[in-house]
Amino acid sequence: MGILLILAGLVVLLVLLWQWHYHKNKVYFESKRIPYRGNGIFRVVLNSFKGLSILDDVISSYKRDKAENALVTGNNDFGVITLGIQDPDLLKAILVKDFDHFADRRMFSAPKNDYLFKKMLFFQKGEQWKALRSKLSPTFTTGKIKRLFSLFDQSGKKLVKYVEQEIGGNGDGGEFDIIEAYSKFTMDIIASSVCGIDSHAFDQKEPSFFEKMGQKMQLSFDGFTLLKIIVISLSTTIGDFFGFSFFARDVQDFFSVAIKSSIHDRQVKNEKRNDFIQLMLEAREDKLKIEDHELDRFERDAIIKTETTTDKASTAELLDDDGIVANAVLFMLAGYDTTQSLLIFVAYALALYPDIQDKLRTEIDQVLEENGGEFSYDSLNKMTYLDMVINETLRFYPPATVTDRGCTKDYKIPGTEFILKKGQGLIIPIYGLHHDADYFPEPEKFDPERFSAENKAKINQYAYLPFGGGPRNCIGMRFALAEVKVAISHLVHNFRIEPSKKTLIPMKFSKSNSLKPQGGMFLGLHKIQH
C-alpha cells in the first residue's frame, strides 16, 4: 500500500509539474503575442500511440493556426524553443535573405553506433556543412545528371519488362501493387548511378540482397523510433549508453565495404566509371566546377556565399573514403523513400484522372516519335505537361510533410518582438502550405494547370516547398526529378493505368517518415500495344 501511495504521489507531482511548465511557457509566449502549442515532439509521440501520424498532427495544427490567423506559433520541445512558421513572406526571409541565421538543421548529433552519419552532408553544421556542400553541389548539375542518364533509362526499360511479367504480358492487366515495382526501380538506379553496383533488383520478384539492405536503412516513425529520437535529442550520451541507433550495424558495414571496394578497384585499375562515386572522387581532387548557365532560380538561391566562408576543412578530409561512403548512403536514404513516394502518387493521380493521363501520354508519344523512339535527357525536359503533373503531385502529395531549420545566430522574428536564440529552431509545415486555399485556390482539387507557364508565375514560391528552399534545400532535386521523369514516361507510354478494386479512394496514409499510402498502392495496369 505504501509503494502504491508513493507512486500515486509521483504521478500527481509529475502532472502538477507538467501543468506548471505548460502554464509558464504559455504566459511567456503570449506575452510576445505568439500562441503557445505545447510540446510538439511529445504530442507527436503521444499521437503515434493513438494511431495518428505526423501528417495528422501537421494538418490539425495548421488548420488551428489558420483559424486563429497565427502566422507564428510557439512550442517548447523538452526545453528547446521551437517556432512554427506559416507565413511564406517570413519563410523567404528565413530561408534566403537571413540564411546566415539559419544555416543548420534543427537536429541532434549522430549516435555513436550510426558511424556513417558522422560525415553525411545532412548532419554537418556551420563551416563543415558549407565546405562539404560546396564540394558536392557540382555533382548534381544538369551536365552531371546528363552523364548518368543512360543508367536511368536502362532501369526504366527494366521497369517496363518487370511490370509486363507481373501482369501476365497478355494485355489483360490486373491488380498490381506498384510500390513493389517502384521499389525495385529506385533501388536499381541508386545502386548503379550512385554506388556503381548491380542491384539485381529486377532479376527476381523477391527483394535482392541489395534491396533488403537498402530497405533496412529506411526509417519508420513508429512509437519506439520517436522515443529514440527524443532520448538522443535530449542527450546523445544517454542514447549511446542504451545502445540506441537508427540503423543496424550489419547494414552500415555492408555499404561501407561495398563502396570502399568499388573505390579501391578504380584506383588499382586506374579506371573511371559513370556514377556518383566517380563524381565525388573528381570533387575530392577539385576537378568539378559549376557553370552559371547550369543553375536555375532554385539553385541560385542555394549558392553559398563562399566569400564569407572560412573553409577550415580540406577537400581530402571532407571526401576521404569514409566521406564518400557516408554521402553515397545519404543519397540512397534521401532518394529512395521520397522518390518512391512521388512516383506512387503520380501513378495514383493518373489512375483517378484518365483525361490527365491521356493528355500526358499524347505528349510522351509525340516526344518519343520526334526522338527516334528513344528517351534522352533533353527530350524528357521538353515535356512541359509532364513537369506540370509532377509539380502538382508534389503540391498535393509532398513526400516531406514538414522541414526544419536550426537558429545559428540570435534572430528577431520580423513583425514580432520575439528573439529566437541560437540553438533554438523552426518548423515549416510544407503540407499545410501546399493545401492552403490562400495560395492554391481549390487546394483539394488535383489540377496540373496550376503549373502552366502562365499560372506558375503567380504562385508564391515560398508557399510551394517540395524540395525546401534557400542554400539548405535538397541538393539532389535534379537527380530525383530525372529519375521520376524516366519512370513515368516509360510507364505511361507502355501501360494504361486505372483504379482497381483495392485502390484506396479516398487515400489513407501510413505512418512512415515520408508520405506513403496505407497497405500498398494497388492499381490496374493494361499493356498498350504499339
pLDDT level of residue 222 (50, 70, 90 thresholds): low
Give the pLDDT of residue 185: 96
Q: Compute the CA torsion angle 180, 181, 185, 190 (nearest 10 deg).
A: 0
| Tens-digit pLDDT profile for residues 9-18 | 666 666 666 6
Among 312-316, 466-470, 495-499, which stretch is predicted with the lowest mean pLDDT?
Answer: 312-316
Pull the grid cell for residue 209.
540482397
Pull the grid cell for residue 311.
573553409
| Tens-digit pLDDT profile for residues 352-393 | 999 999 999 999 999 999 999 999 999 999 999 999 999 999
pLDDT level of residue 108 (50, 70, 90 thresholds): low
Query: Cα(4)–Cα(25) distance, rounded to whole angstroms?
Result: 32
Strand pairing partners for 168? none
Query: Cα(155)–Cα(62) distance, rounded to whole angstroms?
Result: 39
Burial 292-309 (b: 16+ CB within 10 A, else e): eebbeebbebbebeeeee
Amino acid identity for residue 486 in this structure: V
Strand pairing partners for 525? 497
Cis peptide before 506 (omega within 30 of 0): yes
Query: Mean of the pLDDT values across residues 170-199?
Result: 84
Report helix, strand or coil for 84. strand
Amino acid identity for residue 396 in this structure: F
CB 147 within 8 A of CB 274: yes
Report helix, strand or coil for 355. helix
CB 175 within 8 A of CB 522: yes
Q: Compute the CA torsion angle 306, 309, 314, 318 (nearest 10 deg).
A: -80
Give the pLDDT of residue 467: 93
| Tens-digit pLDDT profile for residues 251-271 | 888 889 989 998 998 988 888
Over 70: is that where the pLDDT of 277 sits?
Answer: yes
Ramachandran sector of residue 456 (left: φ over 0; alpha: ψ -120 to 50; beta: rest): alpha
Query: Cα(196)–Cα(278) distance, rounded to whole angstroms?
Result: 9
Give the pLDDT of residue 170: 47
Over 90: is that where the pLDDT of 127 sits?
Answer: no
Q: What interhelical angle do 178-189 and 149-166 show, nearest 10?
A: 150
Give the pLDDT of residue 309: 47
Pull the grid cell for residue 458.
503567380
Query: Mean of the pLDDT values across residues 70-76?
Result: 91
Among 45-49, 51-55, 140-144, 160-164, which stretch is predicted with the lowest mean pLDDT?
Answer: 45-49
Query: Cα(78)–Cα(232) distance, rounded to whole angstroms?
Result: 12
pLDDT level of residue 99 (50, 70, 90 thresholds): very high
Query: Mean of the pLDDT values across residues 396-423?
Result: 93
> CA angle 321-323-325, nearest 5°?
70
- CB proximity list for 110: less than 8 A, separation 6 or greater: 117, 118, 120, 123, 236
- Please give the helix or strand (H or E) that residue 261 lies within, else none: helix 249-269
Task: Determine if residue 407 is labeled as part of a ligand binding site.
Answer: no
Could you tell me whether strands 80-85 and 425-428 are parallel, antiparallel, or unpaired per DSSP bridges?
parallel
Q: Among all chains, which residue has been given the C-alpha cell 507565413?
A: 87
Q: Among all chains, which residue has been given the C-alpha cell 513508429?
A: 222
Query: Mean of the pLDDT values across residues 287-304?
Result: 58
Give the pLDDT of residue 105: 83
**Average pLDDT of every residue of the chain:** 85
State the SS3 of 266-297: HHHHCCCCCCHHHHHHHHHCCCCCCCHHHCCH
- Helix ranges, 50-177 (H): 54-67, 88-92, 126-136, 142-147, 149-166
Which pairs from 296-299 meet CB under 8 Å and 24+ separation?
Answer: 297/461, 298/467, 298/469, 298/473, 298/477
Over 90: is that where the pLDDT of 480 sits?
Answer: yes
Ramachandran sector of residue 336 (left: φ over 0; alpha: ψ -120 to 50; beta: rest): alpha
pLDDT level of residue 204 (50, 70, 90 thresholds): confident
Q: Among all chains, which residue has been given the C-alpha cell 508519344?
A: 365
- CB proximity list for 368: less than 8 A, separation 6 or greater: 374, 375, 379, 493
- CB proximity list for 297: less than 8 A, separation 6 or greater: 461
Pull the grid cell for residue 199.
542491384
Amino acid identity for residue 99 in this structure: F
CA distances from 328 to 139, 156, 400 (A): 12, 21, 20
Percentage of the chain lying above the pLDDT 70 cut: 86
Q: Which candidate, 292, 280, 289, 336, places its Cα nearest to that of 480?
A: 336
Report helix, strand or coil for 525. strand
Amino acid identity for residue 17 in this structure: L
**Greatest Cα-to-Cα distance within the chain, rounded to the nearest angstrom:** 85
Among 77-81, 323-327, 330-334, which stretch is predicted with the lowest mean pLDDT?
Answer: 77-81
